[in-house]
Amino acid sequence: MTESAIAGNYGGGIPVTCILDEGAPTITDSGTYYGQTGETEKVLTWATPLVEGEWVALSNDALCTYEACGGLPCVERPVAAETLMIGRLVSTPKLQRMPADDAAAVTLDLRLAGDYYRTAIVEIYAGITAIVKAKVVADESHPLVQLNPATAKYDISASHAAGKLVLLEVASGGVGYYPLHYVPATAGNYSCLIGITTLMIAIA
């Protein structure tokens, strides 16, 4: 019997456009490579390239804030013993901007600032049933760390006044929230995408 092409591949999850952190690119200048138009063009290769169908982990880099990522989650190739695997790529990665040379995109902060990265749609699993934008109030001592549910609690009074989700950074005790961005402990108000996983805990 011939196996079905879709057997064991039934999808699901929440499709979200994500930034791909594929490491530093290597740029090869024009003059050697020809595109479909017959003209020479620059090409690049990535240090850790991702492909459609591959499973990915949420980046836990502190550079991956909501503001730096333009509101998109940032994912990368998993590493050994990591517990941040969140889903899989379900579209072909698309380059946002071509860097002028290697130096222009050698670090993640440069890639984020210059849009020198690829994006793709990721089906997000990990028990997440909804993804919402939240306001996060920093407590000056505990950052909000990607996929750590313990570091945020629902602020009842602030959420009621704002008419939207407002979270407070806490040392521990948070339940039901998966931060998809990093939020620093530095005093201030920040934005963050939050994955809802179960019943949430609130504080006054």
pLDDT for 94-120, tens place per residue? 999 999 899 999 999 999 999 999 999
pLDDT value, residue 204: 65
Percent of all residues in the chain with a pLDDT value above 90, rounded to a whole number: 66
pLDDT value, residue 58: 97
pLDDT value, residue 94: 96
pLDDT value, residue 76: 97
pLDDT for 31-64, tens place per residue? 566 667 777 778 889 999 999 999 999 999 999 9
- Is the pLDDT at 150 greater than 90, yes or no? no
User: Which H, E and C letters describe the chain, residue by residue?
Assistant: CCCCCCCCCCCCCEEEEEEEECCCEEEECCCCCECCCCCECCEEEECCCCCCCCEEEECCCCCCCCCCCCCCCEEECCCCCCCCEEEEECCCCEECCCCCCHHHHCCHHHHHHHCCCEEEEEEECCCCCEEEEEEEECCCCCCECCCCHHHEEEEHHHHHHHCCCEEEECCCCCCCEEECCCECCCCCEEEEEEEECCCCCEEC
Q: Among 28-42, 59-73, 171-185, where is mean pLDDT lowest?
A: 28-42
pLDDT value, residue 30: 64
pTM score, two decimals? Answer: 0.89
- Is the pLDDT at 26 greater than 80, yes or no? yes
pLDDT value, residue 28: 85
